[in-house]
Structure 1
Amino acid sequence: MVAKNSTEEPSLTILDPPRSVFRRKRFLLPFGVSAGVAVLGVVALFASGTVALPFRQITVVRAMMASKSVYFQDPEVRRILMAHGVDVRVTDSGGSRELARDKQNRVREYDFVMPSGQAAAELIRDRFGGRVFYPFASPLVLGAFREYADALVRAGAAVVQEGTDGLYYTLRMDAFVNELSLPGPGGPTDTWQQYGVDNRNQIVAQTPNPCDSYSGSAWLGLVAFAANGSTAPTEHTVLDVARRIKPVFEIEGLHGSGIGTTFFYPDGRTSAPVGVMYEHQYLAHQFATVARTGAHDAERVLLYPDAHHRTEPWLIAFSPAGEKVGELVRGDPGLRRRALELGFRLDNQDSTALTDLLRERGLPEPAVGGTEGFLPKPEDLETMIREVGRCPEIRVPI
């Protein structure tokens, strides 16, 4: 009898997996998708140069400025500066001339300051020193609602610039100041209502207080230039001219430095239907309006004085960190491009850049006045400002 083989091949039994395994797989699936998205995000950050920011030392740069803070507070400008390891923290000075009037020498506590125009900047540089950078420029203009600009055309004080879709006008400063704004022997006679606008106020441009604001002091200088026969007042005539034009600035009171902002509010017509501002504020508004709606704002227009003043903000650096910002703003292509998109004009190296951007955004190019309106010498302008605005004296270096 043959014995039966007691050794049998082992069998393999396949069991159904428990439900908890499927639950784990379903749980891991969204995690895997999220991880994939995160990897793609890191790749994108690496390509943009931003991925290194958490591992790079960030230098905090302290700055003080007025209206030009809009540039350094712009998200794209901040992003580009952060990619270079720079975080600019801005303190609002309340007005460019507040910087020059600083009695506690706070200015030198900052890495850099940036007054809105060269007249105020010269006072600061002469008083506090520093290295100067010239990043961009912006002409002084009047923003106006269209019916007010058309009223000035009917009054003979403005003309529409041809080929600009009615967005830009040239303001005849001599007529605007001497024939419409300055009171005659019998007192003020010209009102907006006389030229077709439902407004009984006298014809003037609302202006920021020249004691604090560079735009206000520069406009005071342009009004004096027009009232003095297209000649800048001298030390011998400055007080007489200041007293003659003072009523123009007292008619509706002196405003704060925010006219270039409130003008673009929905109720801007009630606060400043015609107001002194910088060209870049208007162009930035139009760029944003076109991007948002596909069309420009047709009810707000610009008046360019025929005796123009080109304001040039100076970046005055007091530390190596401030100098680094000045060099970046002057030299980085992304920062220069963003300055254009915020309405600023670049230097002669890129003299056609704003024209090209306007064309790209479907906006016409304005014609800036051909005659320069010369401001009085700094010490003479200070005399006028104190007379008109009753403000504290700024010590002018000799």
Structure 2
Amino acid sequence: MVVSRSTEEPALVVLDPPRSVFRRKRFLLPFGVSAAIALVGAFVLFANGVAALPFQGVTVVRAMMASKSEFFADPEVRRVLMANGVQVHVTDSGGSTEIAKERANPTSFDFVMPSGQLTARQIHDRVGGKPFYPFTTPLVVAAFSDYAKALAKRGVATPQEDTDGLYYTLDMTKFVELTLAGETWNSIPDGGLTNANQIIAQSPDPCRAYSGAAYLAVVAFAANDKHAPTAAEAKAVATKIKPLFEVEGQFGAGIGRTFFSPDGRTFAPVGVIYEHQYLAYQIRTKEQTGSVDHDRVLLYPDAHHHAEPWLIAFSEQGEKVGRLLQEDSRLQRRALELGFRLGRAGSASVGTVLDERGIPKGNPGQGDTETFVAKPDALATMIEELGSCPSGVPL
């Protein structure tokens, strides 16, 4: 007899894990998330070349400069330089022309960076060094919009087309004539201004700041029938335009920060600055608020002057920074985002950066007339005529 047996399949029994396992998983979860974040961060650091810095070392490069120290204070510029093993330590000269004075010792630094070519050429002629030309920036007159509109009513300024009211062309000959005639802002017919001060553009001290000396050259060019004064003409031209500078009172090293401050209208409703300062301000304002500041506008002198800061290197470390500024695409891009024009260093345009952000762009050379700056001895004579420089005129 055959006995039939039924074979049952083994049952799968799932046991509840002890509570300690769940506690362990919950305990490990944050570490897993942190590890993932750390891996992503490490990948980004290696991609940017920053993670390798502890292994390759960082070289501190000593520099002296004036207004262009703002470029090296920018966090993105500092990051790119650090990724290349460089940290720039800046000493403020108190004004570009201070670097050129006989008592100064530029060669004690790895590099110096005066704000314009007149001072830079004098430094290079005196102590040598290897020059680099990373960017340029036009000299401009910044104003609050109601002052620009008043000048337009007076026939001294002309709004540039398709710029949403942000940019004007300034007739420097007429502007100088208004000041020399002693006219005040509230005397402009239908100007709508209550300011009883004489019509001027506040400018930095020509004894200290390159922008002050360059603006003096622009005014002298306009007042001398659009000719750079010769050494023989310099004293007479300076005497003619002296009232334009005397009404300013105490000069400063620069008015850029003052103009863009919340109380800028009170201190400097119209003043001489560099174009990059204005463009950087508008780019930053657009990024932060979604729109540009229409209360602050720019007037381009009809005879323009482009300031070209030279980086003059006196060491291998200084030359490395100069090459990076001229060749590194990230630094060039950042220079454009800070409002500079690349000049000799590249073909990219600051207009591209403005277009990307929907910011109108102006024309600094409308009419193509360039200010021919007086030669150093003639310019020095004019500066000295305006007022004695504390340590002599470097130009």
Same fold (TM over 0.5): yes
| 2:81 corresponds to | 81
Partner of 1:386: helix, strand, or coil? helix
Q: In the alignment, residue 350 of structure 2 is paired with which amino acid?
A: L
Once the two structures are superposed, residues 181-236 of structure 1 have per-residue CA deviations (whole angstroms, 9 ceiling, x without a partner) of 114xxxx2x11001221100000000001100000000011111111111111111
Q: Which residue of 1 aligns with 2:379?
A: 381
| Distance 1:255-1:303 versus aligned 2 partners, 3 A rule | same
What is the CA distance between 1:366 and its match in structure 2?
1.1
* Superposition RMSD in Å: 1.9
Residue 54 of structure 1 and its aligned partner are, at CA, apart by 1.6
Distance 1:294 1:354 in 2: 19
What aligned pairs does 1:158-169 form with structure 2 within 5 A after superposition?
Answer: 158-169=157-168
Structure 2 Cα separation of the partners of residues 363 and 20 of structure 1: 61
Partner of 2:170: 171
Indicate how the Cα distance of structure 1 residues 18 and 356 shifts in structure 2: closer, same or farther if over 3 A, else same. Answer: closer
Any idea what SS the aligned residue of 1:122 has?
Answer: helix
Q: Which whole-Å CA distance do the structure 1 matches of 2:254 and 2:166 have between them?
A: 22
Partner of 1:366: 362
Q: What letter matches 1:93 in structure 2?
A: S
Does the 8 Å contact 1:112/1:315 carry over to 2?
yes
Q: Deviations over 1:232-287 (max 9, x none)?
A: 11111111111221111110224322311111111100110000000000000111
- Partner in structure 1 of residue 126 of structure 2: 127
Q: Does 1:145 align with 2:138?
A: no
CA contact (8 A) 1:100 1:394 kept: no
Q: How does 1:8-157 map to 2 (within 5 A)?
A: 26-105=26-105, 107-157=106-156
Please, which moves more after superposition, 214-223 or 363-372?
363-372
Q: Which runs of 5+ in 1 are unaligned?
A: 1-14
Aligned to 2:194: 198
Is the CA contact 1:382–1:393 (under 8 Å) kept in the aligned structure 2?
no
- Measure how far apart 1:393 and its partner are: 1.8
The secondary structure found in structure 2 opposite 1:89 is strand
1:18 Cα offset (Å): 8.2
Higher mean Cα deviation, 384-393 or 317-326?
Answer: 384-393
Contact 1:143/1:276 (<8 A) preserved: yes
The question of whether the paired residues in 2 share the 8 Å contact of 1:224 and 1:233 is answered with yes
CA contact (8 A) 1:65 1:92 kept: yes
Instruction: Please report the TM-score for the alignment, with normalisation by the length of structure 2.
Output: 0.91
Shift of the 25–367 alpha-carbon distance from structure 1 to 2, 3 Å rule, reads closer
Residue 342 of structure 2: aligned partner: 346
Q: How many angstroms does 1:129 deviate by?
A: 0.9
**Aligned-pair CA distance for 1:322:** 0.3
Contact 1:206 1:254 in 2 (8 A): no
Cα deviation, residue 351, structure 1 = 4.3
Deviation at 1:349? 6.9
Separation in 1, partners of 2:394, 2:62? 25
Size of the aligned set, in residue pairs, is 376
Do 1:208 and 1:254's aligned partners in 2 also have CA atoms closer than 8 Å? no
Provide the C-alpha distance between the structure 2 equivalents of 1:102 and 1:52, rounded to a whole number of angstroms. 42
The answer to whether the 8 A contact 2:209-2:254 is kept is no
Q: Which residue of 2 aligns with 1:6?
A: none
Corresponding residue for 2:328?
Answer: 332
With over 3 angstroms needed to count, the CA separation of the structure-2 counterparts of 1:390 and 1:234, relative to structure 1, is same
| Structure 2 counterpart of 1:194, one-letter code | S
Distance 2:348 2:40 in 1: 39
CA distance in 2, matches of 1:299, 1:205: 17
Q: Which deviates more, 164-173 or 40-49?
A: 40-49
Q: Find the aligned partners of 1:100 and 1:253 in 2 and give their Cα distance.
A: 25
Give the aligned partner of residue 277 of structure 1. 273
Whether contact under 8 Å (2:142, 2:297) holds in the other structure is yes
Give SS of 1:277's match. Answer: strand
Whichever residue aligns with residue 41 of structure 2, its letter is: G
The 5-angstrom pairing of residues 143-292 of structure 1 reads 143-178=142-177, 180-183=178-181, 188=182, 190-195=183-188, 196=191, 197-292=193-288
Q: Percent identity?
A: 61
Give 1:55 deviation, angstroms: 1.4
Task: Give me the whole-angstrom Cα distance separating, in 2, the residues matched to 1:40 and 1:302.
Answer: 44
Structure 2 unaligned blocks of 5 or more? 1-14
Give the deviation of 1:58 after TM superposition: 0.8
Q: Deviations over 1:345-382 (max 9, x none)?
A: 11267445222222111122211231111111011111
- Partner Cα separation in structure 2 for residue 226 and residue 336 of structure 1: 34
Distance in 1 (CA, whole Å) between partners of 2:207 and 2:102 is 13
Q: How does the TM-score come out when normalised to structure 1? A: 0.90
CA 1:395–1:255: 2 relative to 1, 3 Å: closer
Code of the aligned partner of 2:349 = A
| Secondary structure of 1:230 counterpart | coil
Checking the alignment, whether the CA contact within 8 Å between 2:110 and 2:315 is kept in structure 1 is yes
Matches of 1:148 and 1:317 in 2, distance apart? 42
